């Protein structure tokens, strides 16, 4: 079997991750040896008597800055475990995480994720100990830990075997640039709420076509911007014209 994707997470708050990598799909991936997530607490690497990890900013101003020394020494220890890792800092200035980047990271052997806190990190850490900064979206968090969890979760789905064999990341939202079609399970009748008839008849060609059309409908309704980048077939375009007609019909029939 192939080596697991090894992810070392450098953090001042390793306890924030408890449960995340031991539960559900990620927990199973770790048990199966597909994923090897290691948490490294930065604080023990502080050389100061009181194990400080933050200090006042030179030049003054509000807040604290994460000190270079503990982070640099923790990074050295992480590099001893992961000599070939891409070293990633989670921060709002970074390249935005998306499906393409997640797939690319899943193909690596090793990743080191550095979580920042306070108002910032000593710039010399970023200049010398980090290969790239990645952001999970345009908002600020109190620390990089939730971003590291999001990145680890998102990347793990592209590690072969993490999703069961019947569950392919390629079939889900954004993989082909469209949103997902509606799904239903038992019961067929939920206090008068029914399931679309086409899903109950076992005509798989019809079901495939219905699902494609509903994916297109959901994308047009909720994320029309995605349609511009999606690779659409002539059949897709025909379905979109039908949907647009259905939308204008249902609108004009309103009395």
Q: Is 198 in the site for ligand 4G0 (CB under 6 A)?
A: no
Mind giving me the DSSP string for 18-60?
Answer: TTTTTSHHHHHHHHTTSEEEEEEESGGG--STT---EEPPTT-
Which of 4, 70, 91, 169 touches ligand 4G0 by CB under 6 A? 91
Which of 141, 227, 240, 243 touches ligand 4G0 by CB under 6 A? 141
Q: Is 75 in the site for ligand 4G0 (CB under 6 A)?
A: no
Q: ∠ at Cα 21 (27, 161), nearest 5°?
A: 45
CB contact set of 118 (below 8 Å; sequence gap of 6+): 54, 63, 64, 65, 66
Kindly indicate which of the ranges 4-12, 55-63, 136-144, 165-173 contains the residues binding ligand 4G0, using the contact rule CB under 6 A.
136-144
3-state secondary structure (DSSP) of residue 81: helix
Q: Is 88 in the site for ligand 4G0 (CB under 6 A)?
A: no
Residue 140 or 193 having the CB closest to ligand 4G0: 140
Output the smallest distance, CB 117 to ligand 4G0, in A.
Answer: 7
Residue with the CB atom nearest ligand 4G0 in the bound state: 91
Single out the residue of 58, 87, 84 nearest to residue 72, CA to CA: 87
Which of 39, 130, 147, 239 touches ligand 4G0 by CB under 6 A? 147
Q: Is 120 in the site for ligand 4G0 (CB under 6 A)?
A: yes
Output the smallest distance, CB 66 to ligand 4G0, in A.
Answer: 9
**How many other C-beta atoms can be found within 10 angstroms of the C-beta atom of residue 6?**
18
> Taking the CA of residue 93 as centre, how many other CA atoms within 13 Å lie in the half-sphere pointing to its CB?
7
**How many other C-beta atoms can be found within 10 angstroms of the C-beta atom of residue 214?**
20
Query: What residues line the site for ligand 4G0 (CB under 6 A)?
Result: 90-92, 116, 120, 135-137, 139-141, 143-144, 147
């Amino acid at each position: 079997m192939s080596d697991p994707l090894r992810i070392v997470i450098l953090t001042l708050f390793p306890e924030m991750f408890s449960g995340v990598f031991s539960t559900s799909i990620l927990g199973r991936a770790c048990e199966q040896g597909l994923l090897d997530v290691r948490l490294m607490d930065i604080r023990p690497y502080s050389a100061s008597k009181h194990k400080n990890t933050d200090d006042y900013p030179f030049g003054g101003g509000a807040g604290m800055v994460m000190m270079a020394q503990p982070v640099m020494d923790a990074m050295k220890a992480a590099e001893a475990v992961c000599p070939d890792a891409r070293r990633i800092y989670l921060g709002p200035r970074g390249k935005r995480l998306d499906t393409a980047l997640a797939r690319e990271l899943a193909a690596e052997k090793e990743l080191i994720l550095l979580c920042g806190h306070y108002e910032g990190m000593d710039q010399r850490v970023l200049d010398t100990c980090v290969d790239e900064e990645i952001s999970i979206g345009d908002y600020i968090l109190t620390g990089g830990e939730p971003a590291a969890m999001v990145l680890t979760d998102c990347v793990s789905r592209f590690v072969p075997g993490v999703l069961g064999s019947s569950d392919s990341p390629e079939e889900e939202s954004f993989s082909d640039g469209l949103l997902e079609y509606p799904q239903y399970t038992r019961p067929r009748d939920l206090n008068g709420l029914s399931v679309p008839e086409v899903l109950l008849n076992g005509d798989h060609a019809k079901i495939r076509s219905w699902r494609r059309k509903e994916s297109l409908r959901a994308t047009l309704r909720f994320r029309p911007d995605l349609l511009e980048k999606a690779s659409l077939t002539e059949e897709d375009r025909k379905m979109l014209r039908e949907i647009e007609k259905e939308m204008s019909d249902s609108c004009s029939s309103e009395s």
